[in-house]
Amino acid sequence: MRILRSVLFPLVLLLSSLAWGEKLRQIAILDIPGRPGFDTLALAKNFLIIAHNGAGTVDIFDTTRRRLVAHINGIGDARGAVTTPAADKVYIADYANRVIDVISTQNWQVEDQINLPAPPDALTYIPDSKMLIATSPISQTLQVITTQPLKNVISVPIEGRPEQVAFDPDRKSIFVTVQDRNELLSYRLDSLGPQAKPAQQIPLTASEPTALIFDNNSKRLYVAVRYAVLSVDPDTGNEINRVPTPAGTSTLWFDPAGSMLIAGSTDGTVSVIKAAGGRLTNDYEMNTGIKGHALAYDTEKKQIYLPGGREGKSKLVILKQFGVQSQEEQTKTASAKLK
């Protein structure tokens, strides 16, 4: 049976690649120490930060040299991960220890911790106000953390289980997916507090909303639900359209330059969705053969990183987009035309 599997698995990947005209191709699959179990990924310049909760670590992967360069231990259950715009710090939501670990990208050491009243899950960083927002589904709250000049934590009660947060810079507002109520909530940043009430409630004709992205160009919200990704007009609350995706789609990355969404589902399928003008159309998808929904998309290299498990072992799959030039390739092409 193992021999048959070893023959069929590469064949499935090859056929999948050929079926999509090699728009998306696996260019590497690497072993990762520790048991499978991964949550959020983040990118800090040429480094991939992997919340490896199955191993109780945060793994640092050099995307240029394609190798792990550091393991950060002592993190009980790494969930959310975000970086500052300058990529000098990484914030990790440690669910088990009810803290946010502050990691320096200079030495990959934990340099500070922020204690929270409830276990944090997903993290969002608001650059203008240097604010962190952590969802806490178990306590049905948002934890609003100011990081400068003083650390302060405010709990905002939510009716339901908040999953992810997206920031609208023009309105100075946030949107929140509420998984068990099948809706989106909107709050103004200056109203966030223990008595905060949502400025807007948007019901969804879909179940289990999780990942959420706000596109400031098209002024649309993109929402991952159980079997689809939706485009929603935040002004009216109306659904513009939807595209079907595999069950368990719960991760979204967005490339504003290409108006493109990258979605990950629990069975290891990666879906590429065009979002021109805020209207969604399926472009292509590929099953990686590993189990895991976490992924990251490098807009410069046009590469997708997806950690997961196969036969009880941790793997990192790297996919490359073809037919789309990376930033480096665009620069070389422009230089060649000038000569």
- Written as one string, the DSSP assignment of 51-71 is EETTTTEEEEEETTTTEEEEE
Is pLDDT larger for residue 115 or for residue 330?
115
Contact in structure between 127 and 85 (CB atoms under 8 Å): yes
Helices (H), the chain: 2-19, 327-338
Q: Does domain 23-33+204-339 have CATH number 2.130.10.10?
A: yes
Distance of CA 316 to the CA centre of its chain: 16
**CATH superfamily name and code, 40-170:** YVTN repeat-like/Quinoprotein amine dehydrogenase (2.130.10.10)
CA distance 230 to 146: 31
10 Å CB burial of residue 194 (0-12, 13-18, 19+) is: exposed
pLDDT given at position 331: 46
pLDDT per residue over 133-185, tens digit each? Answer: 999 999 999 999 998 777 899 999 999 999 999 999 999 999 999 999 999 99
Mean pLDDT of the chain: 89
**Given this model, what pLDDT does residue 149 score?**
74
CA distance 193 to 6: 55
Confidence of residue 270 (pLDDT cuts 50, 70, 90): very high
Percentage of the chain surpassing pLDDT 90? 81
pLDDT band per the 50, 70, 90 thresholds, residue 279:
very high
Is the pLDDT at 123 greater than 90? The verdict is yes
Q: Is 297 in contact with 262 (CB distance < 8 Å)? A: yes
Domain coordinates in residue numbering, the chain: 23-33+204-339, 40-170
Q: Which position has the token pair 């941790």? A: 314
pLDDT of residue 23: 84
Q: Which residues contact 156 (CB under 8 A, 6 or more apart)?
A: 141, 142, 143, 144, 187, 192, 193, 194, 196
Same fold, 23-33+204-339 and 40-170: yes
**Residue 218 near residue 277 (C-beta atoms within 8 A):** yes
